[in-house]
Chains A and B, each alone.
Chain A
Amino acid sequence: MNDPKISVIIPVYKVEKYLRQCLNSVINQTLESLEIIIIDEGEQDICREIIDEFEALDVRIRAIHEGNGGYGLSVNRGIDLATGQYIAIVESDDWIENDTFEKLYEIASKKDAEVVKANFHNYYENEPCLCYLREILPVNSYGKLFSAEDNKSIFFTMNSVWSAIYKKEFLDKNNIRFSKIPKASFVDVSFTFKVWACSKKVYLLKDGFVHYRLDNENASVKNSGQVFCVCDEYKEIEKFLEQNSEKKELFEDVLFKLKYSDYLWNFKRVANKYKKEFAKQMAFEFKNDLKNKNVNKTLFTEAQWREYNFIANHPNIFWLKYQLTKNF
């Protein structure tokens, strides 16, 4: 294939119910200049047959059958293999509008953008009243090129690596890949941070193209046993900033605020039996950051800053208070 405009990477894991809908939506794109790289994580289910069927049907599809190294390693493999000008990631339980890549590529090439990102639709198979456009992007940033240095609010939008396209050259030049920890979850945290920290030309679209499935019981976010993966992601971000002193100066304040928000989200997400242990981990890291690093409170509200310090100093009371007052 000669210079595809977009390489679409589709990691596949336990999605036999949804895979056909996903692949049909990709092969029927109005932009035909695509390279479709399916990374099959090798589960013993019917996905392999579906992938073989689509591979025989469409010459643009290239399937890689790998062991289950997890989402991050699969996408990294896809990025390394990709020959397209831009990279897109499509989750194999989601589906996308037919003109998704035409619209995203049109803007990307016209503006020479490093990242073009759109909103997305919540999707429930049998509940149309819960399907709607989720506007997660900062409303004052549509329709113009900007850098994260100019507009730090982009860091605080919900991670959704699959509602964007990324210039391949930009990812390679800045060595941006997902965490290499096998079977890790939430690997989009450090990937997204690195993308924003390195980008000079971001373009946001108000429209939504991806239909983000929320009724997949196998979704990793529903695995309340993956307790400390999010901490590994922040270690990766800290390592990245240590290696880039210019970025550290610009974005370390973002790191501390994001860490607080994501850790709190994770604390609420994990099963009850892990919450106390995770509260202690939060305290350990927050206290360490307060003592040894230049934690800047400017991105926190007063209430958030109080809570941050409270967790750092009194994790057991924080945990108990949460347990006693949640939903009460």
Chain B
Amino acid sequence: MDDFLDFFNSSKAQRQIDKLAKKYKGKKIMLYGAGLYALTLIKNHDLSKLNVLGIADKRFATDNSEGVFAGLKTFAPDELFELDLDAIFLSVQEFNLLKDIIVNTIAKKHKNKNIKVLPIIKKSFWHNIIEIIED
């Protein structure tokens, strides 16, 4: 959990969440990815200004008996097609591959053809440059 906390702190995660809350004010949001990354994010940040309907993950297709993850309602990927959604925020660190998959599966078949798929937290380009220089 500490590794992810460092990542969130260095990425100024709360500031990014607040920006997204302004941009997506009143929009219906689904988080995707219910692992340690998501848990650390939810436990340590204020997501209340985002209208998050729940959190989806492949694993809830096999077992969704709990129905709740870190206080959020859980969904199997197949359940998202018919949900009224404006955006899917990816709550995983390595989001590029997952983004491709979600865009080509869920987003393609979703009833809202304009559904957005994006990472909830990303590093800045300059942050990556600084890391390269430091190494």
CB of A272 within 8 Å of the partner chain = yes
- B39 interface neighbour in A129, A275, A325, Cβ under 8 Å: A129
CB of A229 within 8 Å of the partner chain = no
Total A-B pairs, Cβ < 8 A: 53
A323 near B131 (CB under 8 angstroms)?
yes
A328 near B122 (CB under 8 angstroms)?
yes
B132 near A326 (CB under 8 angstroms)?
no
- List residues of chain A with CB within 8 A of the CB of B63: 132-133
- List residues of chain A with CB within 8 A of the CB of B62: 132-133, 135
CB of A327 within 8 Å of the partner chain = yes
Whether A268 contacts B94 in the complex (CB less than 8 A), given A127-B39, A129-B66, A129-B70, comes out as: yes
- A132 interface neighbour in B59, B95, B131, Cβ under 8 Å: B59
CB of A46 within 8 Å of the partner chain = no
Bound Cα distance A132, B63 (Å): 8
CB of A324 within 8 Å of the partner chain = yes
A324 near B125 (CB under 8 angstroms)?
yes
- B93 interface neighbour in A273, A325, A327, Cβ under 8 Å: A327
- B128 interface neighbour in A132, A273, A328, Cβ under 8 Å: A328
- List residues of chain A with CB within 8 A of the CB of B96: 325
Interface centre among B123, B128, B131 (most CB of A within 10 A): B128
CB of A130 within 8 Å of the partner chain = yes
B131 near A328 (CB under 8 angstroms)?
no
Bound Cα distance A275, B69 (Å): 35
Chain B interface residue count, CB cutoff 8 Å, equals 28
Interface centre among A135, A214, A275, A327 (most CB of B within 10 A): A327
Which residues of A from 141 to 192 have beta carbons under 8 Å from B? Answer: none
- A130 interface neighbour in B35, B129, B131, Cβ under 8 Å: B35
Bound Cα distance A275, B125 (Å): 18
A interface bracket (residues with beta carbon within 8 Å of B): 10 to 19
CB 8 Å contact bits of A291-328 with B (1 = contact, 0 = none)? 00000000000000000000000000000100111111
B135 near A272 (CB under 8 angstroms)?
yes
- List residues of chain B with CB within 8 A of the CB of A327: 7, 11, 93-95, 119, 121-123, 128
Whether A326 contacts B123 in the complex (CB less than 8 A), given A127-B39, A130-B35, A132-B59, comes out as: yes
CB of B36 within 8 Å of the partner chain = yes
Bound Cα distance A273, B131 (Å): 10
B132 near A324 (CB under 8 angstroms)?
yes
B118 CB → nearest A CB, Å: 12
A269 CB → nearest B CB, Å: 11
Bound Cα distance A29, B123 (Å): 48
Whether A323 contacts B70 in the complex (CB less than 8 A), given A135-B62, A328-B125, comes out as: no
- List residues of chain A with CB within 8 A of the CB of B125: 324, 328
CB 8 Å contact bits of B40-70 with A (1 = contact, 0 = none)? 0000000000000000000100110010111
- B123 interface neighbour in A129, A272, A328, Cβ under 8 Å: A328
Which residues of A from 97 to 153 have beta carbons under 8 Å from B? Answer: 124, 127, 129-130, 132-133, 135
B35 near A326 (CB under 8 angstroms)?
no
Jot down 19 A-B pairs with beta carbons below 8 A, ordered by A.
Answer: A127-B36, A127-B39, A129-B34, A129-B39, A129-B70, A130-B36, A132-B59, A133-B62, A268-B94, A272-B131, A272-B135, A273-B135, A320-B132, A323-B128, A324-B128, A324-B132, A326-B128, A327-B128, A328-B124
Of all A-B residue pairs in the complex, the 10 with the closest CB atoms, nearest first, are A327-B123, A272-B135, A273-B135, A323-B132, A324-B128, A129-B69, A328-B123, A132-B59, A328-B122, A327-B122
15 additional contacts (CB under 8 A) given A268-B94, A328-B122 = A127-B39, A129-B34, A129-B39, A130-B35, A133-B62, A135-B62, A272-B135, A320-B132, A323-B131, A323-B132, A324-B125, A324-B132, A328-B123, A328-B125, A328-B128
